[in-house]
Amino acid sequence: MMTCAYDAIAKEWRIRSYILYAFIFHYCVPMMLVFFFYIQIVKAVVLHERMLREQAKKMNVESLRSGQVTLSWMNQSLKNTMIPNYPAGFFS
């Protein structure tokens, strides 16, 4: 009969080897994979940013990002929305 518990107190090699196996292949290997792929993602983002800066420098502009324009457009559109201005103390 098998259980989901580890017998960490037992001195038998077969039990200790299973605990070692579980630790390595159920914790260490997945963590190493997560770190490896996360580092690859960060490297790709850094390289992309560097390429954008170099391209912007070639085009004699400060930035190639369009998000700054979008944010200013969003701020302006929020100011122009029709939100009623209630007098102070209206809801109290």
Does this model's pTM top 0.95?
no
Minimum mean pLDDT among 2-11, 45-54, 69-78: which range?
69-78
Quote the tokens at residue 92.
């109290």
Whole-number pLDDT of residue 74: 53
- What confidence tens digit (pLDDT) does each residue in 17-62 have? 988 999 999 999 999 999 999 999 999 999 999 998 888 888 888 7
**Is 4:18 a contact under the CB 8 Å cutoff?**
no
Q: Can you tell me which residue has the tokens 């560097």?
A: 50
DSSP H or E stretch at residue 15: helix 13-23
Please check the confidence at residue 89 and state whether its pLDDT lies above 90.
no
Residue 52: CB partners within 8 Å, gap ≥ 6?
63, 64, 65
Please check the confidence at residue 70 and state whether its pLDDT lies above 50.
no
Q: How far apart are CA 78 and CA 48, in angstroms?
A: 31
Q: How far apart are CA 48 and CA 63, in angstroms?
A: 13
